[in-house]
Amino acid sequence: MTETADQTTAEPTILVNDVEDDIVRITLNRPKKRNALNPEARQALINALHETTGKAKVLIISGAGRTFCSGMDLSQVTDAGQDAQDDLNKTWVQVQEEIRRHPAIIIASAEGYALGGGSTLINTCDLAVVARDTQIGMPEIGFGFYPGVAAPAAQLRLSPKRAAWMVLTAKRIDGQTAVEWGMANLAVEAEDLEAETLALARHIAQFDPVALEWCKKALWEIPMHITEWRAALEFGSYTNAQIHARTDSHQQGLKNFAEGKPNPGQGR
């Protein structure tokens, strides 16, 4: 386990635990602040993502104290000038880029509150499992702000009207609605959240790490950057060429099929 201490409280802000082979859990650990991330915690999260690069096929990001993340620590913003606020936004952007570029598949496991930056984390993680009663929202309009990181993430993931609802109303949606809107993959009872998230992580951890990494790259490229049909298909071929140049797992998969042996995740 790795702990990174909050300089003001001497408490660990981020915990990194090996769950089992190929699965690591990163826990946001400021429960008294509903896991709002101050600059130290955001840097600790970036450090944790760096530390786990190449060490797991799947990362789980969750929050301590039965809540996920209430976003930016507003106590850091109240007296900050515009330059300082811009710096705070830059570190949030860096967190999202580290998640996007990380070779592991990253699952958000959310319950309680996921507000502002917490909703951003759900949108940025590759997959999300949420408690049905999780409260997800963007309160920024009430403070006279456009949600500078949370809104773009939602606008890229959700339909325009649904993203506009979250940005313009400050109303929260629950975990079940998040699944219906395509923001999360599974909504479960809060008491089942850990078990269901771990079951999904174990399922994904069966697969070849190179194939997972390059599938993740393709999921971010199409349609985020590539929207034209032929270009997308060509990138699909390029992705497979990159996988096959780095691992021979596909050869074993085809051999298993020829011999009537199931591959990981294959139905009977």
What is the predicted pLDDT for the residue at 80?
A: 53
Same domain, 72 and 128: yes
**Which domain-ending residue is among 164, 182, 205?**
205
Same domain, 230 and 189: no
pLDDT at residue 221 above 70? Answer: yes
Same domain, 31 and 158: yes
The per-residue pLDDT for range 116-172, each reduced to its tens digit, is: 999 999 999 999 999 999 999 999 999 999 999 999 999 999 999 999 999 999 999
Same domain, 95 and 161: yes
> Residue 234 belongs to what domain range?
209-258
What is the predicted pLDDT for the residue at 73?
A: 78
162 occurs within a structural domain = yes
Same domain, 152 and 235: no
Q: What is the pTM of this model?
A: 0.91
Same domain, 215 and 120: no
More confident residue, 116 or 90: 116
Confidence band of 29 (pLDDT split at 50, 70, 90): very high
What is the predicted pLDDT for the residue at 259?
A: 87
State the pairing for strand pair 2-5/12-20. Answer: antiparallel
267 occurs within a structural domain = no
10 occurs within a structural domain = yes
Confidence band of 254 (pLDDT split at 50, 70, 90): confident
How many whole angstroms separate alpha carbon 254 and alpha carbon 218? 22
The per-residue pLDDT for range 49-71, each reduced to its tens digit, is: 999 999 999 999 999 999 999 98
Q: How many domains does the chain have?
A: 2
What is the predicted pLDDT for the residue at 3?
A: 47
Confidence band of 2 (pLDDT split at 50, 70, 90): very low
How many whole angstroms separate alpha carbon 227 and alpha carbon 205? 29
Structural contact between residues 193 and 111, judged by C-beta atoms closer than 8 angstroms = yes
What is the predicted pLDDT for the residue at 72?
A: 84
- Taking the alpha carbons of 209, 128, 43, 96 in that order, is the dihedral positive or negative? positive
180 occurs within a structural domain = yes
Same domain, 32 and 138: yes
What is the predicted pLDDT for the residue at 260?
A: 87
